[in-house]
């Protein structure tokens, strides 16, 4: 499809702007003016809308396709939440308003949203307080490990420079730890996919700052030793971080703060139904136990005794500003609406059905695909295309075959510790009918892989393009159409 | 139950298939053995109508009646109605990161077009697919310069947004990176370019400046950039993209890395986010740039297509050695910026910039006619300028709120020697009448 820059023609436009109603004068000398106008598109409004509509039809999304992308929790994004985020009372609100004198009184509704969401998240996670500031999951991780660093620093424990990270962790964990100044040490998994306790014990010493544990883990399993791991970590003077990317599996059923974790992030764009937006914006609030509260980023929203809300900045030990204002407010707002809609009973049903759906798929596909770590799973099940790869059909080929059959592929080749991994997460918002269709397609693909592997290796055939030359993309960089 | 389609019959059928008698048994088998929490502070669920009514009531407690002259890097611009429709296509917003290119050509082409728009605006050859916001983008630029130069010091102009500087301080607190801020005299609004160059040593990885700077002042940087290069440091510029429609570009002035806050490109103010960080760089630096990047290539049949490229820099491959821990960009915000630039178009963008500059000029002239208000600093400004009031600007802003105006940002909040100074922003949304009423209200607040 043509680029937008090749459409339309010189002099055409898609916008109408107010007429100039003041003298046509300004203070910019000609030496500071740009010589040639920026070459933006010159299209009518219809051409603009049609271009975007046609582009959108080349995408798979949750609204159009089953999307069992493991670890990403591609649940339905309720439409009412989009309408709420667009309400002018929220969308048009300047973030500096509450920082002006008498401005706080004019933003009480927005401050209430942040405060009430924070309170509900703290309750669900089992923590004292939650910062709503982090702008994404990885940003939440970074915030969390920075809090751990601040805690040790405040206690004069400056030699604690090591962050322990299990080998099944998300790749963001080691990268986040490095950005907070830590060296990372990898802890292997045992044959069941749990953290190898003996290996962990060997690494524990007075240089360890903490552990970053994904719970449930990236194999879709709940590590039965989590409580013991937290105890071992605490005994060594370190802190336990929970990567809450998989919180959808346990929401309403188990609170990480209750089993020994000290700090944790959640992804509002996963568990709390806000859209992924094709790669952001997300939001990654971080909950902490009492002893980490003094280090939380500024600002926090507090409720005064008269029932009004106010921004608080004066935390002497705070790590400072991780975001320009109060977090991704538009995303927090959607999550707030979601929490209010589901309520206590609904949130408990979320994890129950997410776990039920995943186990149902697991049970139905066991005869057709190998599992490196068998057993009951949480909200996602991880298979291995090892049987199929003997015929030359790899996880990537299965992914492409699914695309041809109208299904977005599961996460592939992750976790790294599983060969030919296929990580399937249906979420609670899919019906049994659609889940059954997916199961049947997976069975059909397994059979085809056995009978006619070549047919799968040619997939996809129904998409706007076939498989792309990624080597050329990296070697002969073409990143922009310049004027 | 809202959004959960399983009926009791479905659950029964599924439980049988997985050989569990009840959900409780499933939890046991999945190793969840602690009793369920009480969740006393989570209320019962509400209907869609009740939730909407509640949120409507909260929204109405936020003031949107104020005539806005507050900017400070975040601006109240017009957003064409079509932008919401274009970005509201759920095939965009309900998709994940485009890791499967065959199922994501819509997003990938749009991001390529967005990268092109950023390059065309800044006159830089290469852009990434976006970062969280303007502040994180500027911090990432420091880290990039550190990787390129193997030096560990950043010289930062005091005329860079104090919000960004606070964020940079926070992010570098655990890293061995030295930050040197070059202050600006309180009677001035330029970036003290001479002092900036003097601060550069053989330890300096980069120099960070803002254009127009936080006081709204527009400066020529070409000579200073050359001097920074001569000392072996990287020149980084944080820009206001709407201003670039009119101003000499950072690319023309020789900057190596250009970052910025993209909120002004069609993204609602939304009380602080989500926003859009952008980053564009010289070609030779692209492999050190953080964040996702979309490239154009061909498929098996030689047909053009788009794909995420240079992924070997990223966290899911490099882990602790990655360029950054960032794994999401602000894709939908980047898409919004593209939709905005597409609708506004080449002529429209220039017109927006001209309207902003002319109205700001008009507002400044009117304000300076009021007894006791004085100009501060240099004359060349885009749509934001500093004036000195005959009293504490924070108090005066408080009084202006009672008159229905968000009068600007009191600089004393971040600069203790500028307590009487006010930073006023004017966009194309402000009418002649509003600006006159603003000046009249200011006169009344000061003198009656």
CB contact under 8 Å between A356 and B15, yes or no, is yes
Q: Is residue B369 part of a domain?
A: yes
| Listed residue (A243, A327, A215, A251) closest to B42, CA to CA | A251
Give the closest of B29, B45, B110 to A341, CB-based: B45
The two three-digit tokens of residue A56, written as one number: 């959108």
Q: What is the mean pLDDT of residues B218-247?
A: 98
Residues of B in contact with A77 (CB under 8 A): 90, 93-94
CB A375, CB A434: distance < 8 Å = no
pLDDT of A73 strictly over 70: yes
pLDDT of A243 strictly over 90: yes
CB contact under 8 Å between B343 and A45, yes or no, is yes
Q: Of A14, A457, A465, A466, which to mutate for an interface test with B (greatest number of B Cβ within 10 Å)?
A: A465
**Helix, strand, coil percentages for chain B (3-state, nearest 5):** 45, 15, 40
The two three-digit tokens of residue A135, written as one number: 């702008």
pLDDT at A89: 97
pLDDT of B237 strictly over 80: yes
Please, what are the domains in chain A? 84-340 (3.40.640.10), 350-457 (3.90.1150.10)
Of all residues in chain B, the one with the smallest CA distance to A319 is B170
B296 and B438 inside one domain? no
Work out how many domains chain B is built from and give that number: 2
The number of C-beta contacts closer than 8 angstroms across A and B is 706
pLDDT at A183: 96
pLDDT of B316 strictly over 80: no
B358 and B330 inside one domain? no
Q: What is the pLDDT of residues A339-378, one digit of tens each?
A: 999 999 999 999 999 999 999 999 999 999 999 999 999 9
pLDDT of B186 strictly over 90: yes
pLDDT at B327: 59
Q: Of A169, A468, A471, A472, which to mutate for an interface test with B (greatest number of B Cβ within 10 Å)?
A: A468
- On whether any CB of chain A is under 8 Å from the CB of B368, the answer is no
pLDDT at B326: 66
Q: Is residue B278 part of a domain?
A: yes
- On whether any CB of chain B is under 8 Å from the CB of A378, the answer is yes
Q: Is residue B167 part of a domain?
A: yes
B225 and B94 inside one domain? yes
pLDDT at A130: 98
Q: What is the pLDDT of residues B260-301, one digit of tens each?
A: 999 999 999 999 999 999 999 999 999 999 999 999 999 999
- On whether any CB of chain A is under 8 Å from the CB of B406, the answer is yes
**The dihedral formed by the CA atoms of A214, A219, A222 and A228, expressed in degrees to the nearest 10:** -60
Q: What is the pLDDT of residues B330-381, one digit of tens each?
A: 999 999 999 999 999 999 999 999 999 999 999 999 999 999 999 999 889 9
Residue B365 sits in a domain whose CATH number is 3.90.1150.10
Q: How far apart (Å, rounded) are the C-alpha atoms in residues B245 and A38?
A: 6
Query: Which of 278-307 (A) contact B at CB < 8 A?
Result: 278-283, 297
Q: Band the pLDDT of A313: cuts 50, 70, 90.
A: confident
Provide φ and ψ at A387, rounded to 5°. Answer: -60, -45
- On whether any CB of chain A is under 8 Å from the CB of B327, the answer is yes
- On whether any CB of chain A is under 8 Å from the CB of B376, the answer is no
Tokens 């060296």 belong to residue:
A183
Q: Is residue B36 part of a domain?
A: no
B192 and B254 inside one domain? yes
CB contact under 8 Å between B169 and A278, yes or no, is no
CB contact under 8 Å between A343 and B44, yes or no, is yes
Residues of A in contact with B60 (CB under 8 A): 89, 109
> Which region among A229-243, A303-317, A346-360 has the lowest average model confidence (pLDDT)?
A303-317
Residues of B in contact with A120 (CB under 8 A): 41-42
Q: How far apart (Å, rounded) are the C-alpha atoms in residues B296 and A287?
A: 41
- On whether any CB of chain A is under 8 Å from the CB of B170, the answer is yes
DSSP string computed for B126-184 = EE-S-BS-HHHHHHHHHHHHHHHH---EEEEETTS-HHHHHHHHHHTTTTT-EEEEE--
pLDDT at B23: 98
Of all residues in chain B, the one with the smallest CA distance to A397 is B100
The number of angstroms, rounded, from the C-alpha of A191 to the middle of its chain's C-alpha atoms is 28
Rounded to the nearest 10 degrees, what angle do helices B393-402 and B432-447 cross at? 120
Rounded to the nearest 10 degrees, what angle do helices B134-149 and B162-171 cross at? 50
To the nearest whole angstrom, how far is the Cα of A201 from the nearest Cα of chain B?
22
Q: What is the ipTM metric for this complex?
A: 0.97
Residues of B in contact with A402 (CB under 8 A): none
Q: What is the mean pLDDT of residues A241-251?
A: 97
- On whether any CB of chain A is under 8 Å from the CB of B222, the answer is no
C-beta atoms surrounding A375 within 10 Å: 15
CB contact under 8 Å between B163 and A181, yes or no, is no
Q: Of B7, B35, B325, B339, which to mutate for an interface test with A (greatest number of A Cβ within 10 Å)?
A: B325
Q: Is residue B268 part of a domain?
A: yes
CB contact under 8 Å between A22 and B298, yes or no, is no
Residues of A in contact with B397 (CB under 8 A): 100-101
Give the closest of A76, A330, A350 to B270, CB-based: A330
**The dihedral formed by the CA atoms of B213, B215, B219 and B221, expressed in degrees to the nearest 10:** -30
pLDDT of B314 strictly over 90: no
Q: How far apart (Å, rounded) are the C-alpha atoms in residues A73 and B407?
A: 44
Give the closest of B2, B34, B164 to A342, CB-based: B2
Q: What is the pLDDT of residues A80-95, one digit of tens each?
A: 999 999 999 999 999 9
- On whether any CB of chain A is under 8 Å from the CB of B183, the answer is no
Q: How far apart are the first and last CA of chain B?
A: 60
Query: Which of 56-115 (B) contact A at CB < 8 A?
Result: 56-64, 66, 68, 70, 72-74, 76, 78, 80, 82, 84-98, 100-107, 109-110, 112-113, 115
Residue B156 sits in a domain whose CATH number is 3.40.640.10
Of all residues in chain A, the one with the smallest CA distance to B350 is A37
pLDDT of A271 strictly over 70: yes
pLDDT of B325 strictly over 90: no
- On whether any CB of chain A is under 8 Å from the CB of B268, the answer is yes
CB half-sphere exposure, B321, CA atoms < 13 A: 5
B234 and B316 inside one domain? yes
Cα angle: B276, vertex B282, B285; to 5 degrees: 90
The two three-digit tokens of residue A343, written as one number: 């309520």
Q: What is the pLDDT of residues B117-153, one digit of tens each?
A: 999 999 999 999 999 999 999 999 999 999 999 999 9
pLDDT of A169 strictly over 90: no
Q: Band the pLDDT of A171: cuts 50, 70, 90.
A: confident
pLDDT at A20: 97
Q: How far apart (Å, rounded) are the C-alpha atoms in residues A311 and A132?
A: 13
B292 and B207 inside one domain? yes
Residue range of the domain that includes B379: 67-77+345-447
Q: How far apart are the first and last CA of chain A?
A: 19
CA distances in angstroms from A408 to A77, A413, B104, listed in the order given: 16, 15, 10
Residues of A in contact with B43 (CB under 8 A): 340, 343-344
CB contact under 8 Å between B18 and A362, yes or no, is yes
B324 and B354 inside one domain? no
**Mean pLDDT of all residues belonging to chain B:** 96
CB contact under 8 Å between B64 and A93, yes or no, is yes
**The dihedral formed by the CA atoms of A265, A271, A272 and A278, expressed in degrees to the nearest 10:** 90
Domain boundary among B286, B319, B339: B339
- On whether any CB of chain B is under 8 Å from the CB of A28, the answer is yes
CB A134, CB A245: distance < 8 Å = no
Q: Is residue B443 part of a domain?
A: yes
B72 and B94 inside one domain? no
pLDDT at B1: 78
pLDDT at B328: 64
Domain boundary among B281, B315, B339: B339
Give the closest of A254, A297, A399 to B34, CB-based: A254
CB contact under 8 Å between B401 and A75, yes or no, is no
Region of residue A282 (phi > 0: left; psi between -120 and 50: alpha; otherwise: beta): beta
The two three-digit tokens of residue A178, written as one number: 């490095």
B355 and B323 inside one domain? no
Quick one: three-class SS letters along B203-272?
CEEEEEEEECCCCCECCCCHHHHHHHHHCCCEEEEEECCCHHHCECCCCCCCCCEEEEECCCCCCCCHHH
B373 and B297 inside one domain? no
- On whether any CB of chain A is under 8 Å from the CB of B284, the answer is no
Q: How far apart (Å, rounded) are the C-alpha atoms in residues B82 and B88?
A: 10
Q: How far apart (Å, rounded) are the C-alpha atoms in residues A436 and A365?
A: 11
Cα angle: A412, vertex A418, A420; to 5 degrees: 45
Give the closest of B94, B167, B271 to A77, CB-based: B94
- On whether any CB of chain B is under 8 Å from the CB of A258, the answer is yes
The two three-digit tokens of residue B65, written as one number: 């009646």
Q: Is residue B58 part of a domain?
A: no
Of all residues in chain B, the one with the smallest CA distance to A98 is B271
Give the closest of B27, B103, B398 to A100, CB-based: B398
Q: How far apart (Å, rounded) are the C-alpha atoms in residues A141 and A125?
A: 15
CA distances in angstroms from B86 to A46, A449, B212, listed in the order given: 11, 40, 30
To the nearest whole angstrom, how far is the Cα of B307 from the nearest Cα of chain A?
7
Q: Is residue B388 part of a domain?
A: yes
CB contact under 8 Å between A72 and B101, yes or no, is no
| Listed residue (A67, A117, A73) closest to A353, CA to CA | A73
Q: What is the pLDDT of residues B238-252, one digit of tens each?
A: 999 999 999 999 999
Residues constituting chain A: 483
CB contact under 8 Å between B319 and A101, yes or no, is no
- On whether any CB of chain B is under 8 Å from the CB of A461, the answer is no
CB contact under 8 Å between A41 and B292, yes or no, is no
Give the closest of B32, B342, B362 to A250, CB-based: B32
Residues of A in contact with B376 (CB under 8 A): none
Of all residues in chain B, the one with the smallest CA distance to A377 is B30
Q: How far apart (Å, rounded) are the C-alpha atoms in residues B410 and B72?
A: 10
Domain boundary among B308, B339, B370: B339
pLDDT of B165 strictly over 70: yes
B95 and B186 inside one domain? yes
B318 and B419 inside one domain? no
pLDDT of A289 strictly over 80: yes
Q: Band the pLDDT of B179: cuts 50, 70, 90.
A: very high
Strand pairing partners for B178? B153
Residues of B in contact with A275 (CB under 8 A): 93-94, 332
């Amino acid at each position: 499809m043509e680029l937008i820059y090749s459409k339309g023609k010189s002099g055409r436009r898609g916008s109408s702007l107010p007429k100039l109603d003041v003298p046509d004068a300004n203070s910019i000398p000609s030496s500071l003016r740009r010589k040639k106008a920026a070459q933006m598109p010159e299209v009518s409004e219809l051409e603009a809308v049609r271009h975007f509509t046609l582009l959108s039809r080349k995408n798979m999304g949750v609204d159009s396709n089953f999307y069992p992308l493991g670890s990403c929790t591609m649940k339905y994004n309720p439409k009412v939440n989009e309408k709420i985020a667009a309400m002018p009372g929220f969308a048009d609100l300047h973030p500096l308003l509450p920082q002006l004198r008498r401005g706080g009184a004019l933003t009480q509704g927005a401050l209430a949203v942040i405060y009430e969401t924070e309170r509900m998240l703290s309750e669900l996670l089992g923590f004292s307080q939650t910062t709503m500031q982090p702008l994404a999951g990885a940003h939440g991780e970074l915030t969390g490990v920075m809090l751990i660093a601040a805690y040790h620093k405040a206690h004069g424990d400056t030699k604690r420079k090591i962050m322990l990270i299990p080998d099944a962790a998300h790749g963001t964990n080691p990268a986040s730890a490095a950005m907070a100044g830590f060296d990372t040490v990898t802890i292997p998994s045992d044959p069941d996919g749990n953290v190898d306790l003996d290996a962990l014990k060997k690494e524990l010493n007075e240089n360890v700052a903490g552990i970053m544990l994904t719970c449930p883990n990236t194999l879709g399993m709940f590590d039965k030793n989590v409580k013991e791991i937290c105890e071992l970590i605490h005994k060594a003077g370190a802190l336990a971080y929970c990567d809450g990317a998989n919180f959808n599996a346990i929401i309403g059923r188990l609170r990480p703060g209750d089993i020994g974790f000290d700090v944790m992030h959640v992804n509002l764009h996963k568990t709390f139904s806000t859209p992924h937006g094709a790669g952001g914006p997300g939001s990654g609030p971080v909950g902490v136990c009492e002893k980490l509260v003094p280090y939380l980023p500024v600002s926090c929203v507090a409720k005064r005794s008269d029932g009004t809300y106010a921004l608080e900045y004066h935390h002497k030990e705070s790590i400072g500003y991780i975001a320009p204002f109060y977090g991704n407010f538009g995303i927090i707002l959607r999550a707030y609406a979601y929490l209010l809609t589901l309520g206590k009973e609904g949130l408990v049903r979320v994890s129950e059905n997410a776990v039920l759906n995943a186990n149902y798929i697991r049970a139905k596909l066991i005869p057709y695909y190998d599992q490196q770590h068998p057993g009951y799973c949480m909200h996602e099940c991880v298979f291995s295309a090892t049987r199929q790869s003997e015929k030359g059909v790899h996880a990537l080929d299965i992914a492409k075959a699914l695309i041809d059959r109208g299904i977005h592929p599961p996460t592939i080749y992750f976790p790294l510790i599983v060969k030919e991994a296929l990580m399937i997460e249906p979420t609670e918002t899919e019906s049994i009918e659609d889940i059954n269709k997916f199961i049947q397609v997976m069975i059909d693909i397994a059979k085809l892989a056995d009978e006619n592997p070549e047919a799968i290796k040619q997939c996809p055939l129904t998409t706007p393009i076939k498989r792309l030359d990624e080597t050329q993309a990296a070697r002969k960089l073409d990143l922009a159409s310049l004027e | 139950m809202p959004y959960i389609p399983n009926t009791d019959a479905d659950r029964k059928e599924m439980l049988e298939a997985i050989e569990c008698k009840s959900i409780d048994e499933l939890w046991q088998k999945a190793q969840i053995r602690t009793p369920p929490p009480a969740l006393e502070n989570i209320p019962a669920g509400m209907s869609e109508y009740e939730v909407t009514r509640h949120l409507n009531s909260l929204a109405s407690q936020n003031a949107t009646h104020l005539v806005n002259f507050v900017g400070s890097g975040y601006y109240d611009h017009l957003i064409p109605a079509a932008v919401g429709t274009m970005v509201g296509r759920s095939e965009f917003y309900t998709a994940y990161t485009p890791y499967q290119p065959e199922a994501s050509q819509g997003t990938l082409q749009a991001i390529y077009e967005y990268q092109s728009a950023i390059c065309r605006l800044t006159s830089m050859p290469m852009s990434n697919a976006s970062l969280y916001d303007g502040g994180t983008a500027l911090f990432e630029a420091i880290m990039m310069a550190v990787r390129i130069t193997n030096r560990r010091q950043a010289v930062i102009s005091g005329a860079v947004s104090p919000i960004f500087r606070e964020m940079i301080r926070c992010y570098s607190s655990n890293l061995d990176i030295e930050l040197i801020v070059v202050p600006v005299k309180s009677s001035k609004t330029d970036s003290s370019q001479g002092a900036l160059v003097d601060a550069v040593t053989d330890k300096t990885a980069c120099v960070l400046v803002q254009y127009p700077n936080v006081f709204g002042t527009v400066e020529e940087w070409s000579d200073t950039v050359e001097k920074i290069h001569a000392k072996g440091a990287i020149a980084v510029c944080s820009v206001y993209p709407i201003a670039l429609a009119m101003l000499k570009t950072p690319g023309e002035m020789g900057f190596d890395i250009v970052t910025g806050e993209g909120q002004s490109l069609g993204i609602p103010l939304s009380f602080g986010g989500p926003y859009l960080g952008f980053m564009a760089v010289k070609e030779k630096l692209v492999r050190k740039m953080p964040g996702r990047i979309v490239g154009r290539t061909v498929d098996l049949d030689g047909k053009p297509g788009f794909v995420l490229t240079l992924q070997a820099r990223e966290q899911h491959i490099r882990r602790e050695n990655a360029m950054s821990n960032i794994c999401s960009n602000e894709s939908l915000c980047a898409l919004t910026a593209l939709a905005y630039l597409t609708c506004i178009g080449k002529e429209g963008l220039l017109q927006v910039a001209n309207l902003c500059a002319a109205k700001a000029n008009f507002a400044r002239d009117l304000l300076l006619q009021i007894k006791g208000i004085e100009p501060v600093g240099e004359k060349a400004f885009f749509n934001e300028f500093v004036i000195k009031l005959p009293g504490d600007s924070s108090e005066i802003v408080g009084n202006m709120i009672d008159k229905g105006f968000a009068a600007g940002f009191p600089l004393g909040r971040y600069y203790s020697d500028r307590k009487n100074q006010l930073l006023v922003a004017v966009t194309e949304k402000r009418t002649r009448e509003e600006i006159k009423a603003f000046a009249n209200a200011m006169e009344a607040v000061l003198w009656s």
